[in-house]
Amino acid sequence: MIWKSKFSATNYVRGTLVVPSKDLTAGAAERIARQAFEENSNKQLVHVEIFCEEDYPPFHSFLLSHVGYDWWKHGFENVPRFPMARLVAIEGNAVFEYGDGEHIQRKVLAGSDPLLVTVGASTFRVLYFAFVPITVRRPQELDADRLKIFAETDQALDPIAGKDLFAALNRLIPLTDISLFIRNDTWFLDIAGYPLIYPFRHEETPPTKEIFQKSHTLLCGGPTKDSYHCIELTGH
């Protein structure tokens, strides 16, 4: 097990671990996740991704810039499926996820599932966190990362519910520069930082280009509570 990257701030830690592919079983990944959680249980947010050596660095698996449907579809059809695991812990609630292209495992390690969030009458599942390091020199007290959060709901996209979810996540997550993307599915095909293939769900048939271009994504953000807002994006 090798830490390929690790960043620890006062209230959160994010990191990437790499292990040989033969060792990246669900059981082994869970043991690694438990150890990472125990070592960082004092942090408000813990986010650790576990890759196999053959899939590291995983740049080919992620959208590094905004692209259209055709580029994404080519990648989706040609990128190999490797095992991957993840630990997410928020305020002491921790969940472990594992996917290898055939098998999916999800287990709450402590408390309740921090990726299932209910606000009012709406329930959301947080799918993915994309940390974007801020490379320009900043005062030490400012965050070192921007954070993109991707979430799914089976209810109609509602800007009011989106703002409520954004507010809830802002209270839970110790970063200030956050953007939230919400869809009715996992197909954030044109948003930078999201995986080409969502690894923690059995693979589904992707939408056609025509259907995707008619679909919508809700983007929510704002620097202060009074300025929280959501806008609707159309697929491209």
User: 146-184: per-residue pLDDT in tens?
Assistant: 899 999 999 999 999 999 999 999 999 988 889 999 999
Which residue, chain included where needed, has tokens 């408000």?
Answer: 44
Q: Which residues 6+ apart lie within 8 Å of 164 measured at CB?
A: 119, 120, 122
CB 195 within 8 A of CB 61: yes
Q: What is the reported pLDDT for 65?
A: 59
Task: Give the integer Cα–Cα distance in Å for 162 and 170.
Answer: 12
Number of domains in the chain: 1
Range of the domain at 101: 2-234
Q: What is the reported pLDDT for 195?
A: 87
Mean pLDDT confidence for 205-226: 91
Residue-averaged pLDDT of the chain: 88
pLDDT band at residue 141 under the 50/70/90 scheme: very low
CB 85 within 8 A of CB 98: yes
Q: Give yes or no for residue 72 having a pLDDT over 90.
A: no
The reply to whether the predicted model has a pTM over 0.85 is yes
Mean pLDDT confidence for 61-79: 76
Higher pLDDT among residues 234 and 54, named by residue? 234
Bridge-based pairing of strands 12-19 and 45-52 is parallel
Q: What is the reported pLDDT for 186?
A: 94
Q: Give yes or no for residue 201 having a pLDDT over 80.
A: yes
Taking the CA atoms of 169, 175, 181 and 187 in sequence, report the sign of the dihedral they define.
Answer: negative
pLDDT band at residue 92 under the 50/70/90 scheme: very high
Task: Give the integer Cα–Cα distance in Å for 175 and 169.
Answer: 10
Q: Give yes or no for residue 219 having a pLDDT over 60.
A: yes
CB 167 within 8 A of CB 224: no
